[in-house]
Chains A and B, each alone.
Chain A
Amino acid sequence: AQKITQTQPGMFVQEKEAVTLDCTYDTSDQSYGLFWYKQPSSGEMIFLIYQGSYDEQNATEGRYSLNFQKARKSANLVISASQLGDSAMYFCAMALGNFNKFYFGSGTKLNVKP
C-alpha cells in the first residue's frame, strides 16, 4: 500500500515566488517522522527538513517550512523566495518502526524560471 503520495509530478515557479509541494501520508502509527529531501540533477540526496509526529509547531529551516496537518495526514513543503538553484527533484519521506523504516514518495520535479 502506498504510504507516501506526491501528486505533483512536475511544477514550475517563478524565481523569487513561493511554492508549495504536496505530500500526504498513510500510517496508523502514533510515532513517526516526516522528511523532505532534495535531489539535484547531480544525483545526491540532500536533507531539507524534519517534522516529528508529536511536534506541535511546524518545522522551519531557512527558506523551507513544513506545513504539517496531522488530521489531514499532509506534510507539504513550502519554499519561500525560490531561487534558480532550487530546481531539482523533491522527495517526501516518512519514518516508521522506531524510525528505522523509511518510505519515500515518487517525487516532484520543480523547475524555477528566471
Chain B
Amino acid sequence: NAGVTQTPKFQVLKTGQSMTLQCAQDMNHNSMYWYRQDPGMGLRLIYYSASEGTTDKGEVPNGYNVSRLNKREFSLRLESAAPSQTSVYFCASTRGQSSYEQYFGPGTRLTVT
C-alpha cells in the first residue's frame, strides 16, 4: 500500500517549457487535490477533484490545468512554465463521505529558470 505517489521528485524547467506532474493514490479515495507551497508559506490549493470526472479551481489556478484520468490518478500540467511557478507541489487525497483527513504525497520540487 504505497498511499499517494508523485512523479517526478525534482524537475528543472526553462521558462516557456511545459510539463505534467503525475499523482496516483491506491486507497480508493474519492477526492484528490493539488497544492503548491512557496518558501516560508503554507499550502495553497491549485485545483481539486471531488470525484472521478470532475475538477474545480482552487485558490491559485492560473497557469495550470488538471486531469482526473480515473479514480486513482490526478495530473497537473504547466503549459508554459514561468519563474513564479517555482515551488514545491503536493498532491493529496481524501476518502470524503465524512472522512476528510488528507493524505499527502512526498512532493515535487520544481524550479523554473
Contacts and interface: CB of A to CB of B under 8 A. Distances in A.
Interface in A1-60: 4, 33, 35, 37, 43-45, 47, 50
B48 to A, nearest CB: 5
Contact of B101 (A44, A50, A91, A100): A50
Nearest to B33: A102
A63 B101 CA distance: 18
A102 B102 CA distance: 10
Given A35-B102, A99-B96, A106-B42, A43 B48 contact: no
A107 B100 contact: no
B104 A33 contact: no
Those 8 A-B pairs whose CB atoms lie nearest each other, nearest first? A104-B42, A45-B104, A104-B43, A99-B100, A47-B101, A106-B42, A100-B50, A91-B42
Interface of A: 4, 33, 35, 37, 43-45, 47, 50, 91, 93, 95, 98-107
